Amino acid sequence: MKKMAAILLAATLILSACGGGGSAATTAAPASTESTTAAETTAVEGSGQKTYTSGTYTASAQGNNGPVELSVTFSEDAITEITIGKHGETTGISDAAFEKIPAAIIKNQSLAVDAISGATYTSQAILDAVADCVAQAGGDAEALRAVAVKAEEEEENAVLADADTDVLVIGGGGAGLSAALSASQNGARVILVEKLSALGGNTFRCGGAFNTYDPEGQKDIPMTEALSSAVEKVLAHEDVSEEHAKLKAEVQAQWDEYKASGDTMLFDSPEWHALQSIDAGDYEGDVELVRTFTSNTLDMHRRFHRQSIIPWAVWRLTAMPKCLMPTAMSSPAFMRLVK
């Protein structure tokens, strides 16, 4: 049996900073049928004290991608059902929040439920909208936020107890995926462990922005004096390696040709994108790996149906595709570009 080599990778798993959305709209209406949770409750019912005005109430609160609508059904002394309505949250990322948060609220009759890691905004939107419905029903949302939530008993998972592998990668973000792929390509048996329900880490949740040169998408963007100065500054940097010098010479030739042509639209190319990336990485990156990446970005961008150039990008090569863009997957070497 080969000796197991454990690789611990710090793969950051961030969707967004913690925060909540306020109530955007409130009405009393029949429940939606899109996603309904009616779980068992640990609260003691039938005490004879009327806590709510029984009925079904609806509200919405700001999630990650827009308002999250839901309806809550109350008996006179308990929350009995939560139904998720219309929303624009990302499938695969928000699923756990929609499944677990309503169930925990009903089970504990509490709004002190922890947000789901990786879906903070969605979780908070559910909690805020339910709090709105509690208020509509005559309840005390602040009191529910003070109700302790019973800790879930952790089940021992022995799935890897007897596993035999050469390389164990902990964390399925961009770095972890790249490490696992590289080890596998070099003949190792690999096990990849990820705590969330989706692979990719923050590269899976990048929000869709994607950098690439794009002649068609950039054809109407003017070249300014500030942008020209930026090119000249990067080209003036001293050579840090033979590969960097070669890349810089290629970009210099392209820049000279561009200026001689009299073109006034944005200057860009795969080589300039690579040189920019090397500069942004404090010249610590592997030039050949960076060039491999930037030479393939346009093809990857087209696969994901480019939509529009983002106007606030420093160099107008950042675009928003129509679907979620897993940037780490456009090149196995992506997360190795900066050492």
Closest alpha carbon to 331 in 191, 177, 172: 177
CA–CA separation, 82 and 195 (whole Å) = 27
Domain membership flag for residue 160: no
Domain stops at, among 145, 160, 183: 145
Q: Note whether 125 and 29 are same-domain residues.
A: yes
Helices (H), the chain: 95-108, 120-136, 141-145, 174-185, 201-204, 215-218, 225-235, 242-261, 270-280, 287-303
Q: Read off the DSSP letter of residue 18.
A: S
Tokens of residue 142, six digits: 């602040």
φ, ψ for residue 71, nearest 5 deg: -130, 150
pLDDT at position 304 is 60
Domain membership flag for residue 129: yes
- Cβ–Cβ < 8 Å for 137, 28: no
Helix H, strand E, coil C: the string for 161-203 is: CCCCCCEEEECCEHHHHHHHHHHHHCCCCEEEECCCCCCEHHH
Closest alpha carbon to 287 in 270, 297, 275: 275
Domain count within the chain? 2
Domain membership flag for residue 119: yes
Q: Note whether 215 and 330 are same-domain residues.
A: yes
112-135 pLDDT, tens digit each? 999 998 789 999 999 999 999 999
Domain membership flag for residue 151: no
Its domain, for residue 30, covers 23-145
Residues of the chain with pLDDT under 50: 1-33, 42-48, 306, 308-314, 318, 320-339
Which contiguous run of DSSP H or E holds residue 80?
strand 79-84
Residues near 262 by beta carbon (within 8 Å), at least 6 away in sequence: none
Domain membership flag for residue 166: no
Burial category of 34 from C-beta neighbours within 10 Å (exposed 0-12, middle 13-18, buried 19 and up): middle
pLDDT at position 124 is 95
Domain membership flag for residue 192: no
Q: CA gyration radius for the chain?
A: 26
Sheet holding 318-321, edge to edge: 210-211, 318-321, 306-309
Domain membership flag for residue 69: yes
pLDDT at position 1 is 39
Domain stops at, among 124, 145, 166: 145
CA–CA separation, 224 and 60 (whole Å) = 44
CA–CA separation, 151 and 172 (whole Å) = 27
Domain stops at, among 145, 176, 199: 145
Closest alpha carbon to 10 in 168, 165, 120, 174: 174
- Cβ–Cβ < 8 Å for 80, 56: no
159-217 pLDDT, tens digit each? 777 889 999 999 988 889 889 999 999 999 999 998 876 777 776 655 556 688 888 88
CATH number, domain with residue 51: 3.90.1010
CA–CA separation, 133 and 82 (whole Å) = 10
Q: Note whether 222 and 325 are same-domain residues.
A: yes
Q: Say if strands 167-170 and 55-62 run parallel, antiparallel, or are unpaired.
A: unpaired
- Cβ–Cβ < 8 Å for 274, 291: yes
φ, ψ for residue 222, nearest 5 deg: -75, 150
Domain membership flag for residue 47: yes
- Cβ–Cβ < 8 Å for 169, 193: yes
Q: Note whether 126 and 221 are same-domain residues.
A: no
Q: Note whether 133 and 215 are same-domain residues.
A: no
